[in-house]
Amino acid sequence: MNHSVLRKLLSPVVTRGTRADEINASLKRSNLLPYVNKLELKNNMRVSLYSRENNIYSKMLLKVGNGELTESDGMINLENLCVLIDNIQELVNNVYPDIDNISCKTSLKKEQFCHQLTNK
């Protein structure tokens, strides 16, 4: 039997619902519910392999996602999470600190671009 036909036969009727609503309804009514395991992201391995600062930032993002960094009013204090910048020029200076000294030579730009892609 076609998988899409089987899905339509087994899916509950959810009026004006999304696919997520259908899945939630089907799992809640299923006899398999006691055997369903909920998985959560605990460590972002890609970030934690590179540096300690990235690992700290990754853990803070996980706390934001879990609702652990909210203030009493439900807001998130961004000062602990990132650098706040007041204007465009300050942003450019922070992201590209040596932008005035970039060479106009094409070969140098290619070399810089390749180094950025390979993290060298």
Which amino acid is located at 117 in the chain? L
Asked whether residue 99 is assigned to any structural domain, the reply reads: yes
Same domain, 74 and 24: no
Number of structural domains (the chain) is 2
Same domain, 60 and 99: yes
pTM of the complete model: 0.36
Same domain, 30 and 80: no
Same domain, 55 and 29: no
Same domain, 27 and 75: no
- Give the pLDDT of residue 1: 47
User: What element of type H or E holds 36?
Assistant: none
Same domain, 53 and 31: no
Same domain, 27 and 73: no
Asked whether residue 40 is assigned to any structural domain, the reply reads: no
pLDDT tens readout for residues 50-66:
777 777 877 888 888 88
Query: Per-residue confidence of the chain (120 residues) as pLDDT tens digits?
Result: 444 544 554 556 777 888 888 777 776 677 777 887 777 767 666 666 677 777 787 788 888 888 887 777 888 877 777 778 888 888 888 877 877 776 655 555 555 554 444 444
Which amino acid is located at 62 in the chain? L
d(CA 113, CA 76): 35
Q: Provide the domain limits for residue 60.
A: 45-118
Same domain, 50 and 23: no
